[in-house]
A and B are shown apart, each in its own frame.
Chain A
Amino acid sequence: MTLASDPPKEGFRLSMLIYDTRFRSITIQVVVLLLFLAGLFWLLNNAYVNLEAKGKDFNFSFLWSRAGYDIAQTLIPYTNDDTHMRALVEGLLNTLLVSILGCALATVVGTVVGVLRLSHNWLVARLMTIYVETFRNIPLLLWILLMGTILAETRPSPRDFRVTDAMREAGQAPEASMWLFDTIAVTNRGTSVAAPVFSNSLGSVVLPGNIPVSLNALALIFVMAASFYGWRLLMRRAKAVQEATGVRPTTWWQSTLILLGPVSAVSVALGLHLEYPTITRFDFEGGFQMLHSFTALLIALTVYTSAFIAEIVRAGIMAISRGQTEAAYALGLRPSRTMNLVILPQALRVIVPPLISQFLNLTKNSSLAIAVSYMDLRGTLGGITLNQTGRELECMLLMMLIYLTISLVISSVMNLYNKSIKLKER
């Protein structure tokens, strides 16, 4: 009779690190880590040796020296006596400005195009398909250059807008005219838009870092926020009444009063009015002056991204099955309520994540501002500052770090949102 004996106990042998699948993954990880560290060390060592050879050091003190160059569009006060740091902030603000405006406009245009592409209207659906395919399949750089060219080459010069006395007597109209009740003038030099201004000023406070903030604007924003809060309260009360009694009280006139009343009162008190651009000897004055570099970049980013957003919106709406609409109708919901309560909440779950990644793309694409010389972050920090100080390493690393921070902030917001709308599965 034979007894089954235990297999001989194997001790640990070195070869098991490679042959035994239990230990192989550890070996692989250690080797990968060592290779990574060695590569990193090699790169840093090279950088050290090369900097030494060029007689350069690695520090960021240049950020506090005088910049000495001008920036055409500034959101906070800046002169060429300010530091490179200040120029960096100007660039960053310009990047954020064009990105935020671009995201907002692209969302509006993209939603309209996406919905119209689903329309039963044959002509409109075809036109929107052409829109989407054209803007999506041609490089953004071309749209930026093209918009810059269109604005600079095909628009009349400011001189053509002027009405001289001789022309007035002869009853002649000028060669070019402003648009939208004289609020917008697009010349070959720039765009002038009528701006809201106050005739009575409450003065302004200067924040640390020499950033003036108009108290009028602050007051207006405060009143708006307060009215909005009041309106929310009113809505909540109406909802409570509806849940208790089943009858929703009429609130439209109260809503209108709360939302518009205080704001109009404050506006009138502060003398809010539009300042129209007027033609002077050489150029338009008054109102907002927008540079063509900004306008071209904004329009190009908007149309390009809106084509992608249109596809996202279309896919989101198509992802909701018809049964949902039919079920809502069967419950007796009106079409508008079906849209608000049934379709949109489900479609948004599909739409929002890719939408936010488009926002991210738009923000990163705004660095193409270099094509029209718009002074964004890359134009200031990665452009003139880099060339003047010759500190490629510091400038590029700092710029990457800033873009990376913006991206990570946006994507963590997206992750939070995803988590909040995730289907609760068991």
Chain B
Amino acid sequence: MSNTSFVRKDMLPPAPPPVSQTGAVKWLRENLFAGPLNSALTVLGFGFAIWLIQAATPWLLHSVWVADSQNECRAIVQERWGPDATGACWAIIRARWHQFLFGFYPIDEYWRLFVTFAGLLLAILPVLATSLPRKLLWGSVLYPLVAFWLLWGGSVWGPILTLAGFALWAGVFLALQVRLGVVVAAGVGLVAASVFWIYAVEPIETGLQSVLPLALPEVDSDQFGGFLLALVIGVTAIVISLPLGILLALGRQSDMLIVKSLSVGFIEFIRGVPLITLLFTASLLLQYFLPSDTKFDLILRVVILVTFFSAAYIAEVIRGGLAALPRGQYEAADALGLDYWQAQRLIIMPQALKISIPGIVSTFIGLFKDTTLVAFVGLMDPLKGISTAVRADIAWKGIYWEPYIFVAVIFFIFNFSMSRYSMYLERKLKRDHR
């Protein structure tokens, strides 16, 4: 019999996939034109993007960087690109960048701002990057007083003695903590430190100043402005409001009725009114509620109220984190024989704070954006205060877009990096089962 059936001896090489299933075509089909609705959306989105780009590009391409006034800018643009051309006039930023960044801070003292800002970065680094040695954190703790001295100037002994007060507080606390418990020891320490601050600081400062006069020229609060002001208010409020918010959240969860109702009242009141009314309270009402001879710096008043504002929000965020913890965690801490503060410090807070990171960071971002509202109580915020001041110059009278874009970009960079950092932190601290 002849060989009737044929059996292939070797494998055929695999055929290439159809064109529509590979490469760019496949990607386009799946991601841009997956159906009629999807295709329509793509066309719409594409049209919108093109429109945006073709509207903005010529304006950006025709930018003018060197000019003395807006009219000069216009003249240059029209000379270069024809009579109908429009172009961005970044010359205003070139001419006034220092006001947008630093307000009316004396130009001779700018080195202090640079040192402060470099110090800020150095102080933040050990907080953000946990791989650095933990001892560096002491530098971060000391930084606020150094920054205060550099920014406002005056005698160096004031901040040092303030620090001594804090050291006294810590010493009293550590000495009494075991016998009297955390709260009472902290209270006694605060009383001791306050007595020291109120009665001892001034005479000692005068004495030391006459022996060893170390001082920087003083800078008035009126001269602060721009992003310097936003950062001063924002960073101070962020740093203080986190511990304050934790305390408020614990107070709200507390078994002690009076502490609980005071915390609830504070949180709900602050959250119920707009920030702007609190700022007006700082500028208009505090003069009624404080003794008539008190001189109280406006920036300080604003910082205090902004801090209260964000502390109330943070307290609510952390309360959410506390509520999300299973009861077993509290019971396990009790079973180990930890007291309330040990349990909070070692078991509860690390977990609750981890859960609340996104909320805390978005509160911080909101706080940083809200620093622009201080314009309404007469401070020079970068957005309204400084822009208005710059436009008051006849040379830059009608210029709107460039300052807004400049300020917006800087705010965007700060806030966007904050939110990205919080996402990184969340991923890093994630401990759940994958």
- Give A contacts to B, CB under 8 Å: 18-19, 21, 24-25, 27-29, 31-33, 36, 43, 46-47, 49-51, 53, 116, 119-124, 127, 133-134, 136-142, 145-146, 149, 153, 364-365, 367-368, 370-371, 378, 382, 392-393, 396, 399-400, 403-404, 407-408
Asked if B370 is at the interface (CB within 8 A of a chain A CB), the reply is yes
Q: Is the CB of B262 within 8 A of A32?
A: yes
Asked if B274 is at the interface (CB within 8 A of a chain A CB), the reply is yes
Instruction: List B385-402 residues whose CB lies under 8 Å from chain A.
Output: 400-401
Interface-facing stretch out of B104-112, B128-136, B144-152, B404-412: B404-412
Q: Is the CB of A28 within 8 A of B31?
A: no
Q: Is the CB of B400 within 8 A of A153?
A: yes
Q: Is the CB of B31 within 8 A of A53?
A: no
User: Inside 8 A of A137's CB, which chain B residues have their CB?
Assistant: 365, 369, 411-412, 415-416, 419
Q: Is the CB of A408 within 8 A of B272?
A: yes
Q: Could you tell me the dominant secondary structure of chain B's interface residues?
A: helix
With A134-B412, A141-B372, A145-B383 as known contacts, state yes or no: A396 contacts B183, CB within 8 Å. Answer: no
Query: What is the distance, in angstroms, from B206's C-beta to the closest C-beta of chain A?
Result: 28
Query: What is the distance, in angstroms, from B269's C-beta to the closest C-beta of chain A?
Result: 7
User: Inside 8 A of A28's CB, which chain B residues have their CB?
Assistant: 183-184, 256, 259
With A120-B30, A407-B272, A407-B273 as known contacts, state yes or no: A19 contacts B373, CB within 8 Å. Answer: no
With A32-B259, A36-B262, A408-B268 as known contacts, state yes or no: A141 contacts B290, CB within 8 Å. Answer: no
Q: Is the CB of A133 within 8 A of B400?
A: no
User: Inside 8 A of A153's CB, which chain B residues have their CB?
Assistant: 400
Asked if B38 is at the interface (CB within 8 A of a chain A CB), the reply is yes
B49, B257, B277, B290: which has the most chain A beta carbons within 10 Å?
B277
User: What are 14 of the A-B contact pairs (CB < 8 Å)?
Assistant: A46-B290, A50-B292, A53-B292, A120-B34, A121-B45, A123-B45, A123-B46, A133-B412, A138-B369, A142-B411, A149-B400, A400-B281, A404-B269, A408-B272
Q: Is the CB of B273 within 8 A of A400?
A: yes
Q: Is the CB of A133 within 8 A of B48?
A: no
Name the residue on B nearest A122 (C-beta): B31
Asked if B429 is at the interface (CB within 8 A of a chain A CB), the reply is no
Q: Is the CB of A139 within 8 A of B370?
A: yes
A33, A123, A370, A382: which has the most chain B beta carbons within 10 Å?
A123
User: Inside 8 A of B330's CB, which chain A residues have their CB?
Assistant: none
Complexed CA–CA distance, A112 and B276 (Å): 31
Q: Is the CB of A367 within 8 A of B256?
A: no
Query: What is the distance, in angstroms, from A405's C-beta to the closest C-beta of chain B?
Result: 8
User: Inside 8 A of A124's CB, which chain B residues have their CB?
Assistant: 41-42, 45
A25, A122, A139: which has the most chain B beta carbons within 10 Å?
A139
Name the residue on B nearest A399 (C-beta): B277
Taken residue by residue from 1 to 32, chain B's Cβ proximity to chain A (1 for < 8 Å, 0 otherwise) reads as 00000000000000000000000000000111
Asked if B376 is at the interface (CB within 8 A of a chain A CB), the reply is yes
* Contacts A116-B41, A137-B369, A400-B273 supplied; 7 other A-B pairs, CB < 8 Å: A28-B183, A29-B257, A46-B288, A53-B292, A123-B32, A142-B404, A365-B274
Complexed CA–CA distance, A36 and B256 (Å): 15
User: Inside 8 A of B375's CB, which chain A residues have their CB?
Assistant: 141
Complexed CA–CA distance, A240 and B12 (Å): 65
Complexed CA–CA distance, A136 and B400 (Å): 21
Asked if B336 is at the interface (CB within 8 A of a chain A CB), the reply is no
Complexed CA–CA distance, A403 and B277 (Å): 9
User: Inside 8 A of B419's CB, which chain A residues have their CB?
Assistant: 137
Q: Is the CB of B285 within 8 A of A121?
A: no
Complexed CA–CA distance, A408 and B179 (Å): 43
Q: Is the CB of B259 within 8 A of A50?
A: no
Name the residue on A nearest B44 (C-beta): A124
Name the residue on A nearest B269 (C-beta): A404
Complexed CA–CA distance, A79 and B282 (Å): 33
Q: Is the CB of A141 within 8 A of B404?
A: no
Q: Is the CB of A19 within 8 A of B179?
A: yes
Asked if B197 is at the interface (CB within 8 A of a chain A CB), the reply is no
With A25-B256, A364-B274 as known contacts, state yes or no: A122 contacts B32, CB within 8 Å. Answer: yes
With A32-B262, A116-B41, A137-B365 as known contacts, state yes or no: A127 contacts B49, CB within 8 Å. Answer: yes
Q: Is the CB of B276 within 8 A of A121?
A: no
Query: What is the distance, in angstroms, from B290's C-beta to the closest C-beta of chain A?
Result: 6
Q: Is the CB of B274 within 8 A of A121?
A: no
With A36-B262, A141-B384 as known contacts, state yes or no: A47 contacts B45, CB within 8 Å. Answer: no
10 nearest A-B pairs in the assembled complex, by CB-CB distance: A407-B272, A122-B31, A137-B415, A364-B274, A139-B369, A404-B272, A367-B274, A29-B258, A392-B284, A139-B372
Q: Is the CB of B292 within 8 A of A33?
A: no
Complexed CA–CA distance, A53 and B290 (Å): 13
Q: Is the CB of A367 within 8 A of B41?
A: no
